[in-house]
Amino acid sequence: MHKNNRDVTAADKRSLKRIRKRIAAALLGAAMAVSSFQTAYATKQDVEAAKKKVSSIEEEKKKVQATIKNLEGLKNDAAAYVKELDGNLTKLEGELDELSSQISTKEQEIADTGIALEQSKATENKQYADMKLRIKYMYEQGNTNYIDMLFQSEDMVQLMNRAEYINKMSSYDRKKLDEYAATRQAIADEEQKLKDDKAALVDMQEKTKAKQESVKTLRAQKNKEMQSYAGQIDTAQSQVDQYNADLAAQENKIKQIEAEIKRKEEEERKKAEAARKAEEEARKKAEAEGKKVSATDKAASYNVASLGNISFKWPCPSSSRISSGFGSRTSPTKGASSNHQGIDIPASTGAAIVAAASGTVVVSTYSYSAGNYIMISHGGGVYTVYMHCSQLLASEGQTVKQGQTIAKVGSTGYSTGSHLHFGIRSGGRYVNPQSYVSP
């Protein structure tokens, strides 16, 4: 069980490293996306792309949280096992206390038995010494005194009593010697038994101490594992906290971008409305005065049309054909819109793309859908867009003149062939370019 815990921990470490890399990449992507939004103009598609990045980061965060949950499970398992080991240690300590008490009792019993044995030996020795004195006396006096003592008896009763006394004394001495010898042996046997019991208790005590040390070592190991799990959990949780902060910051930036888009759209709508009214007034005034647009005012190479006070020229001098018009259509490729927000002008790769009107480049970048594209602000809330370029020749912040080459035709992004997607945005929405420009 515990070896598997260590294996899982190593796997969790590898998983955390992979997750850190994926989250770092996702955060970098989100940061780059937000950075690109903070140009002079941002679209709702950019906001959606940023939201997808946020979702990706949240998914990675969930993986880290799953790893944290797994580590917490391992930590709890180790804690439960440590608790079990603590219980075992308490039990072993109780057993050791009991064994120590039993050993002390045995030692006292051995001491008491030793004293009793010495006393028994002393009694036996005294009895033996007394008997030897009597035997010695009888031997030294010989049988004469023994016989004299018997025949000096006054009568038969006294004779019998004296003979019986002598026999009883002999029997008593023998009996006592046998009793004392048996007692001494019994005490010696008891002493040996107590010593054997003590040796068994000491052996059990040593084994219990060894078991106690083993449990202590295992408990220390499990405590170390718990500390390791806790450290990994703290590290992962710190990452989750940081990701939460980053996600909150990203969400706040997205809200700011959306608010800015809404503000700009409203500003452009108002400007467009003012321009429309001014254009209407100018048109009415021109009609009243009978003014006409002279053909000589048109450019030699292009037809020119106006939006407010802005005149446009055809953006692709090498091609005058339109392969897909403005509005509803069948999507030509996966990812392409079925609501076409411009016109497609087929042309050779590398053909020149010119600015339809003078203005300032506000976007010059790459998008997965539009490919390489440029957006030019012409003032008054009017923008022109040039998509799917093979090469961009104008950069953000650059001022360009009408007819200046700004890019080259290509087929980048969602595209089925070399062409220029040209769009005009006015009042916060795309309008049909064919209403304002023609080959």
Considering only residues 61 and 393, tell me which one the structure prediction assigns the higher pLDDT: 393
Q: Calculate mean pLDDT across residues 10-20.
A: 53
Q: Which of 195, 229, 258 is the last residue of a domain?
A: 258
Same-domain check for residues 70 and 132: yes
- pLDDT at position 3 is 42
155, 209: one domain: yes
pLDDT at residue 170 tops 70:
no
The reply to whether 232 and 312 lie within a common domain is no
391 sits in which H/E element: strand 391-392
Instruction: Report the range out of 125-139, 230-244, 393-407, 414-428 with the highest average pLDDT.
Output: 393-407
Distance CA 130, CA 372 (A): 132
Give me the pLDDT at residue 211, please.
81
Highest mean pLDDT among 68-77, 138-147, 249-258: 68-77
Does an H or E element contain 389, and which?
strand 382-389
Whether residue 312 is found in the same domain as residue 253: no
At CB < 8 A and 24+ separation, what contacts does 227-232 make? 228/9, 229/9, 229/71, 229/72, 229/74, 229/75, 229/78, 230/75, 232/9, 232/12, 232/13, 232/16, 232/71
The answer to the question of residue 317 being in a domain is: yes
Which pLDDT score, from 0 to 100, does residue 39 have? 38
- For residue 323, the domain's CATH number is 2.70.70.10
Predicted confidence at residue 267, as pLDDT, reads: 78
Q: Which domain holds residue 343?
A: 304-435
Place of tokens 């001495």: 173
Are 180 and 317 in the same domain? no
Residues 50 and 111 in one domain: yes
- Write out the two tokens for 389: 């370029």
Note the pLDDT of residue 304.
42
Q: Do 92 and 238 fall within a single domain?
A: yes
Residue 297 lies in a domain: no
Contact at 8 Å (CB) between 160 and 72? no
Query: In this predicted model, what pLDDT tens digit does every residue of 195-224 receive, in sequence order?
Result: 887 788 788 888 888 888 888 888 888 788
Within a domain: 282: no
- In the prediction, which pLDDT does 161 show? 60
User: Which of the pair, 369 or 285, is modelled with greater confidence?
Assistant: 369
Residue percentage of the chain with pLDDT more than 90: 20
Residue 275 lies in a domain: no
233 and 90 co-located in one domain: yes
DSSP 330: -
Q: What is the pLDDT of residue 37?
A: 37
With a cut of 50, say whether residue 439 has pLDDT above it: yes
Residue range 16-25: mean pLDDT, rounded: 49
Q: Answer with the residue of higher pLDDT: 162 or 357.
A: 357
Q: Determine, yes or no, domain membership for 40.
A: yes
Residue 280 lies in a domain: no
Q: How confident is the model at residue 91 (pLDDT cuts 50, 70, 90)?
A: confident
Total tally of structural domains belonging to the chain: 2
Residues 207 and 83 in one domain: yes
Same domain, 188 and 317: no
Residue 203 lies in a domain: yes
Q: Which of 239, 258, 277 is the last residue of a domain?
A: 258
Whether residues 254 and 310 fall in one domain = no
Which of 118-122, 293-297, 412-416 holds the top average pLDDT? 412-416
Task: Check: pTM over 0.85? Answer yes or no.
Answer: no
Per-residue pLDDT at 97 exceeds 60: yes
- Between CA 409 and CA 420 the distance in angstroms is 6
pLDDT in tens, 218-273: 888 878 887 887 888 888 788 778 778 877 876 777 777 778 777 877 877 787 67
**Any domain includes 272:** no
**Which is more confident, 256 or 306?**
256
Please state the rounded mean pLDDT for residues 131-158.
56
CATH of the domain at 175: 1.10.287
Name the domain boundary from 199, 225, 258. Answer: 258
Mean pLDDT (the chain, rounded): 74
pLDDT tops 50 at residue 300 = no
**Residue 329 and residue 251 share a domain:** no
Phi-psi region of 374 (alpha: psi -120 to 50; beta: other; left: phi over 0): beta
Using 50, 70 and 90 to split pLDDT, how confident is the model at 403?
A: very high
- pLDDT value, residue 338: 53
pLDDT value at 382 more than 50: yes
Model confidence at 297, in pLDDT bands (50, 70, 90)? very low
